Structure 1
Amino acid sequence: MKKSIIALLLANVLSPVVMAAQPMLIPQSEANNSWFNQTNNYRFNNSEPLPGTAGINLAAGAFIIQDKGEYQNVMAFGNPQFGGEIEAGSTLDELLTFIKPSQMYASGSAFLAVNPTSKNGVAWGNGVTRGEEKSIENIQSVYPGTESFMIVKTDGSLIEYTPSTGTESSIDAITSSDIIRSIYHSGGTIGESIAWVALLESGKIKVWGDGAAGGTISKEAKKALKNEVVQSIYATKDAFLVKTQSNKYVAWGGDNSESGTIPSDISSILNSSGSSSIQATEKAFAVISNSTIYAWGDDACGGKINSSTSDFLSNMKSPQLSATRCSFIATDVSTGKLAQWGNLHTKKTYGENTRLVTRTSNEGALVLDSDGNYIDALQSAELSPDALNAFVAPASETIASGNAFAAVNHQGLGAGSNILNSWANGANVDDITLTCDGIPIDLYSTQAPDNSVSYFLAYHPSCGDEVTTWKTGEESLPSVSSLRITPDVPVIGEKLKGDYLYVAADSGAEEKNSLRTWTVVETHEELYEIKEQSISLLLSI
């Protein structure tokens, strides 16, 4: 669990600072093993959990700052369009001060801060017009998705709140008699399909959303679950896998999903012997049953284990699973073996009785021992020369974004004892190298399902400027499902970049200094054809 040191960002406060704890409605051991991590943040695969007061979406982060449990303010970093900037005295700042939130949630494109006592919250981020943020009432629990939040209200009803439109939509699949225990989702990429599964207190499930992402449960799956009590749920991008209390495994997915159908031979093994571990990539599942690993789904995403890898895996005595975006990684303590299959392939043997810890990005893995000592770097995790030099000492903290890594190496006491480096593919990122004397450094990062831009934040009190932020990759913002611009805001420009059309609007407010806010609109052919016409017609598409 991330430490609470980020709360010390309160300026000139010398008294102890604490961060409120938030119960995980979905156990981390379960939430972590879906491709799209089922936590209160926009994370993927085996991400380290964040405290309940921290929110990180695709391109920004927000932290609730407290002093002795009392709300002080929210600190944000990253892309302003995704909520990475909160102006002092703004409508949002005033709402946050009034609500005094202690829990933070992040979808792919926005934040939702909640006070669990008053049950009120406020959202901001991509598509939310600055100055038009509003309070949301009667919030019991929150489950973020890519572009919206599923909110269980205090009366037990379920609504989907979409910040970009400001709308609350009731979920017809949930009735007044359904008591929700937790909610899971597939999907993962903004602008693409997403589906949801509600696990009820009765152990039954309710399914809704886009059929292509598993939003329609198959007749076979529904029949198999008729008299079952569901225990846990896992998801790929377009399928769900459930495990029941009677040790039955049932899957379903979209029409083109290969992970939504468990092969009959694997199904027989699981239903008779059970599993000790389940892991998902973007398009495949892998399970461990009686120390043997089985996989199904898209071959190129880890759904097929070739004979060579299978032979290598058979020598593992107690394998453990992790994943990148499209490959599985199995490690074994007793033999020191590591195998990777999917879109990336590796077979290596390290020292026996070495507990291997993998920190994965989309296309790479940093391999350490349990003490933080460097073992290996696979694919995009290849160390830069500076990072390699720093790893003469163990890492006290490591983190991965979608396309890069960062680590803090602790080199004893005194001058330069904590060294921060960030790298990808053997090169430093943004020349980020920081040395602090005996001062802890906490690391945070955004993640993306592709290799687009990622943001990092390092907090280092009493060392330099206290906060260091940097980003990797090329800025490429996704489209949102809807777009709102106040009609009387004059449009002052537009430009094409890659697959997106950017529209610039002038706020017209003196205190904003005529700030240009570039809002991205999803591109299709008709958009290009009329881009010289009026903005009202442009935005009506």
Structure 2
Amino acid sequence: MPIILLLQLSNQTGLLSLGDLLLQAATVLHEGVVQVVGSSSAFAAIKSDGSGIIWGDAAKGGDSSRVEHRLQEGVVQVVGSSSAFAAIKSDGSVFSLVSTACGGDISCFEHQLQEGVVQVVSNYLAFAAVKSDGSVITWGDAAKGGDSSRVEHRLQEGVVQVVGSSSAFAAIKSDGSIIIWGDAAHGGDISRVEHRLQEGVVQVVGSSSAFAAIKSDGSVITWGAPANGGDISRVEHRLRE
């Protein structure tokens, strides 16, 4: 796989060899790194000066040449899907790093992501951003959670947290209710337990294909693929409070 190191490297003598790039990359990453995240085949690092450094397979998020100028300062968080990265800047804006097929294309929503973003969450092929007004913006693979149009009216306000499975998202609202969207086979369908998720939810956690919600009374409710934690019938009597 090709490796592309997008760093602020000068090249006064012509083309740098891969060995030279790796050596200089090691120097740049030798200090000041405060966060490293990965996609399936690439990494992104944030340094204490707010700059971002990307390396790895160009097709899996390792090529940030299109937005390199935006990685020079002010980066506070980077989140990765399988083949793309999304970065939050200190001004509350979000921009994507490559791979339009796997969550890297935010062109349709970019105007909504210029300010006010407080959280970005990813699953395997999509992203969800929570804004300071409690609204949620999603992008990426439509079938895997990138399209939230079915529940968009419920995502306009009051969302306090979003979590993901591999192919779906769950949002907790300030009234303690849950909103789900994405692949039904991976936790995107709560019809079986929806009546129990209208209030009192304080936390949600996702596995690869299921979700578990903790309620204020100490009980737990699950949904999604039974083999991945969506079925708690065997231990339900121990999780009621």
- In structure 1, the residue matched to 2:106 is 262
- Structure 2 counterpart of 1:267, one-letter code: E
- In structure 1, the residue matched to 2:53 is 206
- In structure 2, the residue matched to 1:304 is 147
How far apart are residue 211 of structure 1 and its match? Answer: 0.7
CA contact (8 A) 1:295 1:302 kept: yes
Counterparts of 1:353 and 1:391 in 2: how far apart (Å)? 18
Query: Where does 1:143-292 land on structure 2 (aligned, <5 Å)?
Result: 170-175=22-27, 179-188=31-40, 194-219=41-66, 221-226=67-72, 228-254=73-99, 257-264=101-108, 266-272=109-115, 274-289=116-131, 290-292=133-135
Which has the larger Rg?
A: 1
Provide Cα deviations, 1:147-173, integer angstroms capped at 9, x if missing partner. xxxxxxxxxxxxxxxxxxxxxx95543
In structure 2, the gaps of 5 or more residues are 1-20
- In structure 1, the residue matched to 2:238 is 390
- Structure 2 counterpart of 1:327, one-letter code: A
CA contact (8 A) 1:281 1:326 kept: yes
How far apart are residue 317 of structure 1 and its match? Answer: 2.2
Larger relative helix fraction: 2
Structure 1 counterpart SS, 2:218:
coil
Query: Where does 1:400-419 land on structure 2 (aligned, <5 Å)?
Result: none
- In structure 2, the residue matched to 1:109 is none
- Structure 1 counterpart of 2:202, one-letter code: L
Counterparts of 2:161 and 2:28 in 1: how far apart (Å)? 41
CA contact (8 A) 2:37 2:44 kept: yes
Cα distance change on mapping 1:359 and 1:205 into 2, 3 Å: closer
- Structure 2 counterpart of 1:218, one-letter code: S
How far apart are residue 371 of structure 1 and its match? Answer: 4.9
1:340 correspondence with 2:183: no
Structure 2 counterpart SS, 1:222:
helix
Counterparts of 2:167 and 2:180 in 1: how far apart (Å)? 10
Cα distance change on mapping 1:386 and 1:263 into 2, 3 Å: same
Counterparts of 1:286 and 1:379 in 2: how far apart (Å)? 22
Cα distance change on mapping 1:328 and 1:171 into 2, 3 Å: farther
Cα distance change on mapping 1:213 and 1:185 into 2, 3 Å: farther
Counterparts of 1:384 and 1:223 in 2: how far apart (Å)? 49
Provide Cα deviations, 1:30-86, integer angstroms capped at 9, x if missing partner. xxxxxxxxxxxxxxxxxxxxxxxxxxxxxxxxxxxxxxxxxxxxxxxxxxxxxxxxx
Structure 2 counterpart SS, 1:234:
strand
CA contact (8 A) 2:121 2:127 kept: yes
- In structure 1, the residue matched to 2:210 is 364
Counterparts of 2:222 and 2:209 in 1: how far apart (Å)? 15
Provide Cα deviations, 1:184-236, integer angstroms capped at 9, x if missing partner. 23234xxxxx11222223222222111111111132x113345x321111111
How far apart are residue 372 of structure 1 and its match? Answer: 2.9
Query: Where does 1:74-85 land on structure 2 (aligned, <5 Å)?
Result: none
- Structure 2 counterpart of 1:321, one-letter code: V
Alignment coverage as a number of residue pairs: 212
Counterparts of 2:233 and 2:69 in 1: how far apart (Å)? 57
Counterparts of 2:75 and 2:125 in 1: how far apart (Å)? 22
CA contact (8 A) 2:178 2:197 kept: no
Structure 2 counterpart SS, 1:386:
coil
Provide Cα deviations, 1:341-363, integer angstroms capped at 9, x if missing partner. 12123353547651332232111
Counterparts of 2:87 and 2:179 in 1: how far apart (Å)? 26
Counterparts of 2:151 and 2:136 in 1: how far apart (Å)? 11
Provide Cα deviations, 1:448-483, integer angstroms capped at 9, x if missing partner. xxxxxxxxxxxxxxxxxxxxxxxxxxxxxxxxxxxx
CA contact (8 A) 1:180 1:198 kept: no
Structure 2 counterpart SS, 1:287:
strand
How far apart are residue 376 of structure 1 and its match? Answer: 4.5
How far apart are residue 293 of structure 1 and its match? Answer: 1.0
How far apart are residue 298 of structure 1 and its match? Answer: 1.0
CA contact (8 A) 2:54 2:62 kept: yes
Provide Cα deviations, 1:263-295, integer angstroms capped at 9, x if missing partner. 24x3222213x1132111011110112111110
CA contact (8 A) 1:333 1:355 kept: no
Percent identity at matched positions?
Answer: 20
With normalisation by structure 1, the TM-score equals 0.36
How far apart are residue 183 of structure 1 and its match? Answer: 4.4
- Structure 2 counterpart of 1:342, one-letter code: G
- Equivalent residue in structure 1 for 2:200, among 344, 351, 354: 354
Counterparts of 1:311 and 1:231 in 2: how far apart (Å)? 29
